[in-house]
Amino acid sequence: MADATQTIQQPVAAKQEASFVRAIGLFDGTMIVVGSMIGSGIFIVAAGISRQTGSPGGLLLTWILTGLLTVFAAISYGELAGMFPRAGGQYVYLREAYSPLWGFLYGWTLFLVIQTGTIAAVAVGFARYLGVLFPAISPTAWIISPIALSSKYAISLSVQQLVGILMIVFLTFLNTRGVRIGKLIQNIFTSAKTLALLGLIVVCVFIGRNAAAISDNFGHFWAIRGAQPLEPGASFLRGLVPTVTAASGSFGLFVAYGVAQVGSLFSADAWNNIGFAAAEVKNPKRDVALSMAFGTLIVITLYCLANVAYLCTLPLAQIQNAPDDRVASAALAAVFGPAGAAIMAVAIIISTFGCNNGLILAGARVSYAMARDGLFFKSTGTLNQKGVPGSALIYQGIWITVLILVRTRRVSGLGEVSYGNLYSDLLDYVVFSALLFYVLTIAGIFALRKKRPDAERPYKAPGYPFIPLLYIVAATAIMFVLLLYQTQTAGRGLVIVLIGAPVYLFWSRRSAAAKHAA
């Protein structure tokens, strides 16, 4: 009987020693990149960009510049991905290039805001557009009415919030069942959303083309009209830095295009997520870099064509003043009438569902890598029996839920109370910081070539040192503009990053004490 018990227990013990499953091929990796990048931004941010740049040419040029920056970053990251094909991606690159502190500051900001805030925003966007089809899913259909936590914050649960949370719970659960399920969902929904975006482009360019819009937009391609004033981001700067518009000359154009990059770069972000899951890629030294390159090229091409489609359907003034900035909905409404809103809602529901699956799958791998270094909760550094970081996925899901539940609270001069979303404010704050981490990571290529000249590099950054350097210069120029004209949000973002320094000291000392005790 004892022998039988040992025979039964042995496989159970072996199962507990789970390891990552290398199940992600080149196509899967490309789908993770494409699916994580395409959310709801491409359907919305064109309104803000067109107001900032003030011309059809400015709208398209903004996306072209974003495309060049994103592709330059992706092909440069490939060198780091080939050197460090491990779970954690950019966290690992910064740790190896500089020190564990820099890796932690990135991982901390990613977990606290960048990844989780984006997932929360996409989840609520999913619920908002589902509400177009099912009006009961409303932001004011309260399950728990807002409860004030302070003068600036509250907590609430509406039907819209509940649907967003249920989406997070569902996708988190599916991803705990193994990477093969996660990649299957990603492949299906990314293929569907890519076809939907292609359908939008074809419909607007070939079926719903508007001769008056085409004449207005392409006949006055660079004529600036309706450009919004851009004021310095802090009162102490107003005597030093002028208020400008895109029509204010070369400096005004420089500022307008710099500020406009916030919307387009955010919509084109998450291309680096495949690096987080490198330990599950079949041939990581080759396919992580190729997935980033192919994925970004596909998405940027679609994004530029989508904006051409908007310009073929709507005059610039209608793009600038689209209701709730829903430019894609306005374009389809111009083609199909009231049914266009429902068609667009279905497309965005598919897009946001697939986007969040990719973000949830990838984001938990960074928490796992941090925990393996003793810099996060110990349980998040383990894999479940399906070979995925189940605890990290759960911790991530809990924090996303908190971000959805907590609301910002504003009281007008008339005493009227309005509620915003905490994650929305936080994402505004960290756009500058996210760009800073990209610059530091690409600068890490230079640092590692000096520190480890003989290290194996299966893939080398093409155009080195010029392409990585060009990205660093361009991104630094955008950060300079944001410091001047979005000072408060950039400053608060840096505060969020810097708060991570004492947290790092806590975790590192705790880890060192645990090792000493062992």
Q: How far is CA 160 from the centre of its chain?
A: 21
Query: Are β-strands 153-158 and 142-148 bridged in parallel, bridged antiparallel, or unpaired?
Result: antiparallel
Cα 329 from Cα 333, distance rounded (Å): 6
Tokens found for residue 277: 């899951």
pLDDT of residue 238: 86
pLDDT of residue 127: 94
pLDDT of residue 514: 81
Cβ-in-10-Å burial (0-12, 13-18, 19+) of 174 comes to middle
DSSP designation for 244: B
Domain boundaries, the chain: 21-142+157-402+425-454+464-512
Phi-psi region of 516 (alpha: psi -120 to 50; beta: other; left: phi over 0): alpha
Q: Which residues of 98-107 are buried (b: 16+ CB within 10 A; e: fewer)?
A: bebbbbbbbb
Contact (Cβ atoms closer than 8 angstroms) between residue 127 and residue 164: yes
C-alpha distances (whole Å) from 246 to each of 226, 254, 260, 310, 488 are 10, 8, 11, 21, 22
What residues of the chain score a pLDDT lower than 70? 1-17, 518
Angle formed at CA 411 by CA 409 and CA 413, multiple of 5 degrees: 165
DSSP designation for 325: G
pLDDT digits (tens, 9 = 90+) for 268-305: 988 999 999 999 999 999 999 999 999 999 999 999 99
From the candidate CATH numbers 3.40.50.1970, 1.10.760.10, 3.40.50.300, 1.20.1740.10, the one assigned to the domain spanning 21-142+157-402+425-454+464-512: 1.20.1740.10
Contact (Cβ atoms closer than 8 angstroms) between residue 58 and residue 246: yes
For tokens 């994103």, the residue is 70
For tokens 């039964």, the residue is 8
What length does the chain have?
Answer: 518
Contact (Cβ atoms closer than 8 angstroms) between residue 42 and residue 304: no
Tokens found for residue 6: 């040992």
C-alpha distances (whole Å) from 375 to each of 66, 108, 210, 387 are 34, 10, 56, 21
C-alpha distances (whole Å) from 430 to each of 38, 114, 258, 426, 486 are 19, 7, 16, 6, 11
pLDDT of residue 518: 67
Query: Are β-strands 417-421 and 142-148 bridged in parallel, bridged antiparallel, or unpaired?
Result: unpaired
For tokens 């000392």, the residue is 509
